[in-house]
Amino acid sequence: MIKQILNRLPRKPSKSSDSRDSVGGSVPPSSSSSSSRSGDLQTSKITNPSSQVPPGLSPGLNNLNKYAPPVNLKLNGNCVIPVYEALPSFKDVPNSEKQILFMRKLDLCSVVFDFTDPSKNLKEKDIKRQTLLELVDYVSSASGKFPETVMQETTKMVSINLFRNLTIPPREHMVLEKIDAEEEEPVMDPAWTHLQIVYELFLRFVASPETDAKLAKRYIDHSFVLKLLDLFDSEDPRERDYLKTILHRVYGKFMVHRPFIRKAINNIFYRFIFETEKHNGIAELLEILGSIISGFALPLKEEHKLFLVRALIPLHKPRCIGMYHQQLSYCITQFIEKDCKLVDTVIRGLLKYWPVTNSSKEVMFLGELEEVLEATQPADFQRCMVPLFRQIARCLNSSHFQVAERALFLWNNDHIENLIKQNNKVILPIIFPALERNTRSHWNQAVQSLTLNVRKIFSDHDPELVAECSKKFEEDEAKDKEYIMKREATWKRLEEISASKAVSRDGVIIPRTLPHQVSSG
């Protein structure tokens, strides 16, 4: 029995294992490491205690042993639990050993704790937090190129801490709820005290001039970028803000990844628009794209134009557009500033997805329309002005005063007013009936006043055209009244015939020549 216990105790490492390279043998984390947040500490069952080392200690690295934390081996079957102890500070070791200590601290921070219970592992959590802060300072003050092993271990530690299954609450009714999303309390990740520092560390690592992109791209690869994009669905706005900054830095530093990043973001948009309508990070992704679009070279590639048509314009479709409309509108205007000929495509796209019953969404569309028209040239405006002002005429007559008011505010923009004046012979006949009805019968006094101001603009510019439109409106009104009277008379005759036949229970035959004549046979 004693012999069996002695055989399980750790043995002194052999000289051959001591002579191994001090930075070799590390491998990227497996996919299972990203789900390790559920345990208090990362522990594993082993069959040979001599192969188990404290967190962050690579076996056989003899010149690291001087920084190894004391180990408390507790024999309980085959499970050995190491003690989590702090490592020396960087200022306490010579410069020649700081890189080795940096690697040790990265390994120490690869242990993930459970934050669902605030009372667990308080000492260990504080040690990890202080160690992460030291790593941030080290990366910020680095004065030499990071070797490949440091890049590998850094991305490994970041992956273990960040890439996890997001805890997303039930969102069955999210489409309706997100309309008032700004009134909801955001969900905060309890592990943010550690996550924030890991994000800060990775941000400084990517932005550091000491990080060689040619080497780092081996570890910050397509798989890493996809997992980073998955985190944009986090409920915590603080996390999404860090992700936005980091992804933008990655896009700028790793030129080889740019097409892949754009394609991956496109796929997120497609899934959101046409399948789920559920995603928390659309606004942040659009904010990144706004900066990317402003850097597009001219003439625009066909790929970029397809992105506008297939992704950005259809993003007007979801009901929860209020969550990201400001960023979306910025992206759209960036495209138009790059190529003004895209105005026709954008405006017709807006008209395609123009809301019918959602007044708040309609107000947003009118605001975006004003920004688009501000960047529109007269020749491009003429190609789409007819369908555009048919829609604006409907908005002018909207019973929702904010919609009508926002449509009338378009005339407060000098550039848009000039575009309208240059084409008033086409536009005024389209919108004059709406203006006239507003002045006569709109229930809101502010809308009536604004309508009178707009009509005065037209009267001052071309009084003859206004008089002509007014005459035609009166004629059309008379025709409409005559038609209504005929229709009412027809219905009245039908009611009389129906009443006379009710006594005899005979059917009433209605010929196809209605409303001109009614047969009593």
Query: Can you tell me the mean pLDDT for 49-63?
Result: 36
pLDDT, one tens digit per residue, over 490-519 is 998 998 888 887 766 655 555 555 454 444
Q: How far apart are CA 454 and CA 468, in angstroms?
A: 17
Give 77-111 pLDDT, tens digit per residue: 344 346 778 888 888 888 888 889 999 999 999 99
What's the pLDDT score for residue 184?
63
Q: Are 519 and 509 in contact (CB under 8 A)?
A: yes
Q: In 70-207, where does DSSP find H-type helix? A: 98-108, 122-140, 148-162, 174-177, 192-207
Predicted pLDDT at 14: 42
Q: Which amino acid would we find at residue 107?
A: D
pTM of the entire predicted model: 0.76
For residue range 178-212, list pLDDT tens digits in order: 444 445 677 888 889 999 999 999 999 999 999 99
Domain locations in the chain as residue ranges:
380-499
Q: How many CA atoms lie within 13 A of 115 on its CB side?
A: 15
The per-residue pLDDT for 68 is 45
Residue partners of 308: CB distance under 8 A and separation at least 6: 332, 335, 342, 345, 346
pLDDT recorded at residue 144: 86
Cα-trace Rg, the chain: 35
